[in-house]
């Protein structure tokens, strides 16, 4: 007996790590970050359309595993993501992820994708969207504190979207900084390896902190941040993990993705629960002001939110037909009679 062939309804496009790298190299790193940034910004402009909830975490002494769901009423999406700072010493990635999109009307999935690479692209894109609306308009120099897996994507995204020309690097591990210098040598950026965080941020228009340690840390002290600078704090993403001294927050105008999540996980977990913050979607839609003068310190307290992953997955889904970088998985049981799942199983007995 010949094995039954799966129907079209049973097949779900799957983007593997290999396919994601093919997709990324076909489009180009900077252009793909820019495309995802456009998708994110468009979705922020329709922020009220989305179901929003803080991510669902499962914490352990070793790290955290999280689910990040959202829906716009037509499409549902979620990301599974972990954060395990000790993984690097084990030879593993600190962060890994995968994601899914599904139709709301049927519940059938329409995309399954790796999101370890895609999350790096999405995070860089989100940083660029925030800086586009909050950083000094003529910003040219960026400091990157924490030179791990996220670093190069941030640099190339800011070069493409905000026309940053100079990148100043610092990491407690000189080998991490050397890795970034090597990877960006043909980028056209002026890249400077710095001996201290203070050296890196001095003269920078934009400061991005992207460290991985799961602890209350002080990556930037109050004296290191001056008037007019914009900070993207993207490393803090769970309770008990911060990067900035509390006094920096008190001097800054703070912008966030979704306050119920950020107050638990972001830099502002150090502040009173009623400390004023502005939601970034309100700035993007001109409901509230972002940067208002040249001396203002603006801080994007980013923890990563589900709508951004939704935007990135939809961007990838739209590229599949054009690029062909995916395979179909037989994921959905599809019996001839929807009521006869058992019959489908028994008829498969003895099939080749």
Give me the pLDDT at residue 113, please: 98
pLDDT at 1: 43
pLDDT, tens digit (0-9, with 9 covering 90-100), for 107-143: 999 999 999 999 999 999 999 999 999 999 999 999 9
| Residue 326, C-beta contacts closer than 8 angstroms, at least 6 positions apart | 13, 14, 15, 16, 19, 320
The rounded Cα 47 to chain-centroid distance in angstroms is: 17
The domain ranges of the chain are: 8-117+307-341, 128-305
| 128-305 classified as CATH 3.40.50.720 | yes
Distance CA(23)–CA(342), nearest Å, equals 39
Give the residue ranges of the chain where pLDDT is below 70: 1-8, 212-216, 236-238, 350-352
Catalytically active residues, by annotation: 237
| CATH class of domain segment(s) 8-117+307-341 | alpha beta
Element (H, E) at 102: strand 97-103
Confidence (pLDDT) at 352 = 59
pTM attached to this predicted model: 0.93
pLDDT in tens, 274-323: 999 999 999 999 999 999 999 999 999 999 999 999 999 999 999 999 99
* H-state helical runs in the chain: 17-27, 29-44, 87-90, 116-134, 151-162, 174-183, 197-201, 246-251, 259-265, 280-284, 306-323, 341-347
């Amino acid at each position: 007996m010949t094995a039954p062939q799966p129907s079209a309804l049973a097949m779900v496009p799957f983007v593997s790590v290999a396919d994601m790298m093919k997709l990324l190299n076909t489009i180009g790193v900077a252009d793909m970050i820019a495309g995802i940034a456009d998708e994110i910004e468009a979705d922020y402009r329709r922020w009220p359309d989305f179901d929003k909830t803080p991510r669902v975490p499962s914490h352990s002494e070793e790290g955290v595993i999280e689910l990040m769901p959202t829906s716009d009423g037509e499409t549902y999406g979620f990301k599974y993501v972990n954060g395990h700072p000790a993984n690097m010493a084990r030879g593993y990635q600190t962060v890994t992820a995968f994601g899914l999109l599904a139709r709301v009307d049927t519940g059938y999935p329409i995309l399954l994708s790796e999101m370890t690479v895609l999350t790096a692209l999405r995070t860089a894109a989100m940083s660029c969207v925030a800086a586009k609306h909050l950083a000094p308009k003529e910003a040219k120099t960026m400091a990157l504190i924490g030179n791990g897996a996220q670093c190069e994507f941030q640099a190339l995204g800011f070069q493409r979207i905000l026309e940053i020309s100079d990148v100043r690097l610092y990491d407690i591990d000189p080998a991490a900084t050397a890795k970034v210098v090597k990877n960006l040598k043909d980028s056209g950026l002026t890249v400077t390896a710095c001996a201290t965080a203070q050296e890196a941020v001095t003269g920078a228009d934009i400061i991005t902190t992207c460290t991985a340690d799961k602890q209350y840390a002080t990556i930037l002290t109050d004296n290191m941040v001056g008037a007019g600078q914009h900070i993207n704090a993207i490393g803090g993403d769970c309770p008990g993990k911060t990067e900035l001294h509390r006094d920096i927050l008190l001097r800054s105008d703070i912008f966030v993705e979704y306050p119920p999540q950020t107050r638990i996980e972001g830099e502002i977990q150090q502040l009173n629960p009623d400390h004023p913050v502005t939601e970034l979607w309100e700035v993007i839609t001109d409901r509230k002001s972002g940067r208002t003068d040249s001396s203002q310190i603006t801080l994007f307290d980013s923890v990563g939110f589900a709508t951004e992953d939704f935007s990135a997955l939809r961007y990838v889904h739209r590229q599949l037909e054009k690029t062909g970088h995916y395979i179909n998985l037989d994921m959905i049981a599809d019996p001839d009679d929807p009521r006869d799942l058992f019959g489908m199983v028994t008829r498969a007995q003895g099939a080749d």
